[in-house]
Amino acid sequence: MSLETHPIAFTAADGLRLSGTRLGRPDTPATIVYLHGLLADATFWTPLTRRLSRHLGEDIAQLVYDQRGHGSSGWPAKHQHTTMRGLAEDLEAVLAHAHGAVVLVAHSAASLVVHTYIEHYRARQVAGLVFFNAACHFRFHDMAMVPSQCQPTLARLRHQRRRRLDPVAAAGHAMLERRLRALAQQGKLAQSFITGARPGDPRVLADLLQQCNETRLSAQVAVAMRSTPSFVLGGELDRIVAAHDSVRLADAIWADYEMIPGATHSLPHTQPELAEDAVLRALEVAYRDHESVPAVDGADW
């Protein structure tokens, strides 16, 4: 079953416009909300949402959106730092449009946004969590995400931000963003690393690379997440997030863990049939005792 997509705009707390799409009715008993990783956009989820729409129909809504500085969403002001707390606030603005119980699905570094969201917005009930290629902490400067020849440049540019040499830093960040996209398209950044079609805000990329290095899942937040049905899937051939890092996340939040043979860092995009099963399982576990949720083809409810 193919559903019509409904464009939807979200307004962040600072007034920035975030671009998104809803599949399914706006008044469904549950909503799946997707968060893409660095250099990607909402289209990263298209193979998965299309498959799920065949099972869910109009009965469960799906929301995808471009995070700030990505895709069709707005770019923040030049003087503004992009932080994980800010991205969590953006997610709260998106969830204001989500009806019913919420299942959050995050890829890669977007898992840190979910961790931060849980820390600051525990009052909102999250019915389920699904993490693909995720970890407790991302050390992108030490990974294939940032080639070794770019690391010294990135460090110098960070120190020039919002100082007299800020225009030079902005130009350098733009070059870095183009370089990373080119490497990804050539398959040299990491195997099957999927980037968005539109260039992103290089300042946001620089901020988030630094934020990823400084942000880690705290013990307190991990404990808070243990009461939520959670699933963590890693890829055997993931060159950015090693299997043991995904296992560490699953152990910390008491999540079910599965390592997918032959899968790369873009698991939900390149192997949506396996990602689909994880999301359906999250819905099944989250609503096993809820008669209000309709049956889903392919799930043993």
Evaluate whether residue 255 is within a structural domain.
yes
Residue 104 CA neighbour count, 13 Å, CB half: 26
Judge whether residue 289 has pLDDT over 80.
Answer: no
Evaluate whether residue 82 is within a structural domain.
yes
Q: What pLDDT, in 10s, does the model give residues 17-37?
A: 999 999 998 888 899 999 999
Domain that holds residue 233: 5-137+218-286
Q: How many domains are contained in the chain? A: 1
CATH code assigned at 17: 3.40.50.1820
Alpha-carbon distance of 116 to 220, in angstroms, equals 11
Average pLDDT over the chain, rounded to whole?
83
Q: Which residue has the higher pLDDT, 193 or 56?
A: 56
Q: What pLDDT, in 10s, does the model give residues 68-103?
A: 999 999 999 988 889 999 999 999 999 999 988 899
Q: What pLDDT, in 10s, does the model give residues 177-234?
A: 666 666 555 555 445 667 777 888 888 888 888 888 889 999 999 999 999 999 999 9
> Which DSSP letter does residue 24 get?
S
Evaluate whether residue 208 is within a structural domain.
no
pLDDT, residue 158, reads 57
Structure tokens at 192: 């099957």
Evaluate whether residue 44 is within a structural domain.
yes
The arithmetic mean of pLDDT across residues 250-255, rounded, is 98
Evaluate whether residue 164 is within a structural domain.
no
Q: What percent of the chain has pLDDT over 90?
A: 53
Evaluate whether residue 185 is within a structural domain.
no
pLDDT, residue 186, reads 56
CB within 8 Å of 76: residues ≥ 6 apart:
14, 16, 68, 69, 82, 201, 203, 204
Alpha-carbon distance of 67 to 49, in angstroms, equals 17
Alpha-carbon distance of 93 to 104, in angstroms, equals 14
pLDDT band at residue 3, thresholds of 50, 70 and 90? low
The arithmetic mean of pLDDT across residues 133-144, rounded, is 75
Q: What pLDDT, in 10s, does the model give residues 149-165?
A: 555 555 555 555 555 54
Evaluate whether residue 243 is within a structural domain.
yes
Structure tokens at 78: 């030049």
Evaluate whether residue 10 is within a structural domain.
yes
